[in-house]
Structure 1
Amino acid sequence: MENRTYRGLQVTAQRLISKFGQAGLVTCVTPPDPVLGGDPVVTSYPATLVPMAYEARYIDGTTIRSGDMQIYISAVGLAIEPTVGDVVTANGTDYAIVAGDPNRYDGVTNVVFIVQGRPA
């Protein structure tokens, strides 16, 4: 069951991301059917997001590399949940999602998506 507190946090996150963020895209590639074959299907979804560089103290060269971005994506109005393998376009650059956190504290309401993007 949805918790009103988390809905309020979602609205606050949306307001801050809209104020300080930018328009971007989340692109998903659905692989072809393993039995029937076909071509992969590429679908882009508009998103409001804030890309931020990681602080130097977090860059370890393996899990987080130089050039990786921490990207906050508003959950409001986003038709999909960004996952590993998707591509986020921000600042005119494509970033492949290598890790993500949906921030779904009650198991129902996605407050904000925080993903780690690596230049694609």
Structure 2
Amino acid sequence: MDYRALQITAERLIAKFGQAGGVTRITPPDPVLGGDPVPTPYAATLVPMAHEARYIDGTTIKTGDMQIYISSVGLAIEPTVGDVVTANGINYAIVAGDPNKFDGITPVVFIVQGRTG
């Protein structure tokens, strides 16, 4: 199967229905030398969506969590737990994610679960 074609379709839909946002990776301080954490922002195109009420269990998915679809095209990193996604002017910590690499190589779309506070 041609997963690149699926990636292009996902990119087109996210560009059409999504918004500009960002993913910030925070590099922790050096364990020996110390210092401050270093945030590195990456521009992204994304679609934030609230979880349906039937999926909110209060543990894995909490009220206020967002399911965020992030275009993989042109994004220099793979969003992961510990990164922060900015959507609608709100910062969401990634608490779970799926790179959707159906062939193990090509990320079709990144789907993450974001949580505030």
Q: Same fold by TM-score, threshold 0.5 exceeded?
A: yes
Q: What is the distance in 1 between the residues matched to 2:116 and 2:36?
A: 24
Of 53, 56, 61, 1:59 maps to: 56
Of 84, 87, 92, 2:84 maps to: 87
Q: Which residue of 2 aligns with 1:112?
A: 109
Letter of the 1:53 partner, please give it. A
Q: Give the TM-score of the pair, scaled to structure 2.
A: 0.97
SS of residue in 2 equivalent to 1:19: helix
Q: Give the TM-score of the pair, scaled to structure 1.
A: 0.94
Q: Which residue of 2 aligns with 1:50?
A: 47
Following TM superposition, the consecutive aligned residue runs of length 4 or more in structure 1 with deviations greater than 6 angstroms are none
Number of equivalent positions? 117
Of 45, 66, 70, 1:69 maps to: 66
Query: After alignment, is 34-43 or 91-100 more displaced?
Result: 34-43
**Identity %, equivalent residues:** 79
Structure 2 unpaired stretches of 5+? none
Structure 1 unpaired stretches of 5+? none
Q: Which residue of 1 aligns with 2:93?
A: 96
Q: What is the distance in 2 between the residues matched to 1:104 and 1:84?
A: 17
Q: How far 1:35 moved relative to its partner?
A: 2.1
1:13 partnered with 2:33: no
Q: Deviations over 1:14-42 (max 9, x none)?
A: 00000000000101100012123222111
